[in-house]
Amino acid sequence: MKFFPLLGIALLFCSCQTSVKEDLQPKTEPALSESQADIDSVKYLIEGSFQEIWSDLDTARIRAYHTDDFILLEQGLVWNNDSVARYLLDEQKRKEEVQYQRLNRFDFVRSVQRQNTIWVAYKNYGTWVKGSDTLGTVQWLESAIAIRENNGWKIQQLHSTRMAQ
């Protein structure tokens, strides 16, 4: 008779151990090919956002690339979608006066995906040209956080530090 209560306690202990072990197991990550496809999508998202927003100065494209709660941290300043739009409108006037073109190039350093979030570190090279003349160049070390929303990936945060040239 004493055997049955001990057996019940042992079984209860084993079932608790199994439950705890399952909870401690890492959540499954996307398959490597799926993960790489997502990372590539976010890299194209970054490149496209810099072309359409920062080079073409298209305020209408901000919502296509950024989440509603987007934030940019750059050189001690905090930007959101509204401050980006105000900057673009001011820059459109300068672009009309000078007739310059901004060219972008990226060297991606590292990318990490955790379920519906991707973090990407990269070097961003901006070159301003007018015809065959180079007006200026800037290099940044940046990171981006993109999240998957219902209609695809969007940039939630950018962090940018200007590099010495």
pLDDT of residue 7: 43
What does the DSSP 8-state code read for residue 60? G
> Angle 114-118-124 (CA atoms, 0-180°, nearest 5)?
150
Q: Domain for residue 135, yes or no? A: yes
Question: pTM above the 0.85 mark?
Answer: no
**What's the one-letter identity of residue 123?**
K
φ, ψ (nearest 5 deg) of residue 2:
-65, -20
* Residue ranges making up the domain that contains 63: 28-162
* Residue count of the chain: 165
Q: What is the mean pLDDT of residues 22-29?
A: 49
Q: Would 8 be classed as within a structural domain?
A: no
pLDDT digits (tens, 9 = 90+) for 107-150: 999 999 999 999 999 999 999 999 999 999 999 999 999 999 99
- The amino acid that residue 93 corresponds to is K
Please give the share of the chain, as a percent, with pLDDT higher than 70.
Answer: 81
Q: Looking up tokens 């490149």, which residue turns up?
A: 47
CATH code, 155: 3.10.450.50
Q: Is residue 20 part of a domain?
A: no
